[in-house]
Structure 1
Amino acid sequence: MVTWNSTTVDEFILVGVTGSQDLQILLFIVFLTCYLVSLLGNALIIWLSNVNPRLHKPMYFFLRNLSFLDICFTSSVVPKMLINILSVKKTISYNACFTQMCVHLSLGGTECFLLLTMAYDRYVAICSPLRYTHIMHPILCIKMAAASWVGGFINAIVHTGITLLLPFCSRNVVNHFFCELPSLLELACTDTSPNKIFIFFSAIVVAAAPFFFILITYVNIISSIMKIRTTRGRKKAFSTCASHVFVVTLFYGTIFFIYLRPGTVHVTNQDKVATLFYSVITPMLNPLIYTLRNKDVKLTLKETIRKNVFLRKTIYHLSMEYTINEYSKY
């Protein structure tokens, strides 16, 4: 029988992605690059969809929400991870650890629901195009987005509250690069089987159920697309959904790998890679996927660049003309 030290934990030690010292600098450069690309790419989508009236549509309203969420999602993990990579003492306080866990859970749950709302938007656009503007009016879009954020927040608060009730004794080494819920449960000095079962069933509600409805939505979408007579029309309809399908596959695939395994120990290197993928890599890829696959976004970006180049040239020529006129006075 294992006995536990009664000392209460006031900080945790994060093991990180790997214990190899030779890889620390390389990992720092890679993760910093991914983080900066994620920030710039998602901020660019938010800015472009705001400044161009062509993108003032429900689809881009949800895309703005997703981009803002991805900025917050990756920011909840990467900055602390980068600091720990270069630090000798890789610690995080008790309160900061649970705050990080709560924020990460909240944003992850929100993304599950938000991807569902985006699927519904595509369903209405393709299956009921004549009623699209009537159904997807701004008030409904705001309500759907707000429900996604609230749903993710409630899920995180429940999990965080239950986990805070657990006693944490002498063990404080988290075998992860951030305070993820399953890894924290392994440190509790009590039986956490009920918590793991609750994680499994809540993952069904928060992740599996939305994914199931997304599948049903796309079955109907594909059925409607196949009824389109022209090849060009079918191709255009498919292209509007391709980006979303790719993002759903990336995000839900890794989420299911982590959270839909009842009773298992979530501290393997494979789990770290999966978590790294949906927390760092996917938020970086999302803006690239949507800009490369979306004609409206690419056109808006080209127009914005063209206008900025023209504006800079105009300012340059005006300044040169002003300088020449000033010198001609003497």
Structure 2
Amino acid sequence: MKAILCPEYGSPDVLQFKEAEKPALKDNEVRIRVFAAIVTQADCSFRKADPFIIRIVFGLMRPKYPILGVELAGEIEAVGKDIKLFKEGDQVFGMSNANFGAYAEYKCLSESAPLAIKSAAMTYEEAAAICDGATTALTFLRDTANIQRGQKVLINGASGAVGAYAVQLAKYYGAEVTGVCSAVNSEWVKTLGASKAIDYTKEDFTQNGERYDVIFDTVGKRSFSQCKDSLTQKGVYLTTVPSLAVMAQMAWTAKFGSKKAVFVTAGLKQNKENLNFLRELFEAGKIKAVIDRCYPLEHTSEAHRYVEKGHKKGNVVITV
């Protein structure tokens, strides 16, 4: 099969479009013919081993799993003998959090993995995109912050992959949404559900006197210390980017004070139920996939370069 291999850590130039062995099917697995995958900031981090802890977990000298990519959509080509929930020909979307592998023509996933039937109304590109930012935003807002109707929610990085879905989901749950983004994306973020958009180049939301029940920093640019005074008395600060400071603040705020700093490993908390729920929202027109651009599999290195610029609007998709 064709795949993108990452034989060593480094710049996008280390990514190689090559032949790889087609994954062998186990009894409790399905083998998916991949039609779409996603390039995320996390993929770029794993490619270059930054932060260093990636080397401790996923290979000190070189990547333990040389085919990167987590989110995917495709068609089931074969099923193991123990499979009960899926059959050959099913169109599915899901995530390979444990050992990656989505940047390839085929990927095997266990039946218990975050994997669900794709909506007929979704393209494969849209289905893969929903797997990325929407699942993360759902875990942070619904499951962690326990978002409630009428709350004031600020999304920092509202035009990014996580932020664009966070705006839509916060709106769905009845919150009053403020999005922080660049001026060029302000009106677009409002079409997603934000009632107000702040241009971060002209206004510092931590200094405008407004208070929010939830501040969701989807891009890891503002610390809890910077945001604390902009939270309501029982407000929650969420971040997708862990750091030693955030970990320390989580431990402190868990025991002292009413304002909380929270980080969760959203990828490890995904399941079929989340995917089914997001599919239903998509079919009902409550959320839509947000795709910036698509690249063919052989141009994955270009996709990585684009993502690393930090200006993408929504998702960057690899078509296989």
TM range (shorter): under 0.3
- Bigger relative CO (Cα 8 Å, ≥ 6 apart): 1
Query: Which structure is higher in helix share?
Result: 1
Structure number with bigger Rg: 1
Normalising by structure 1, we get a TM-score of 0.25
Q: Normalising to structure 2: TM-score of the pair?
A: 0.25
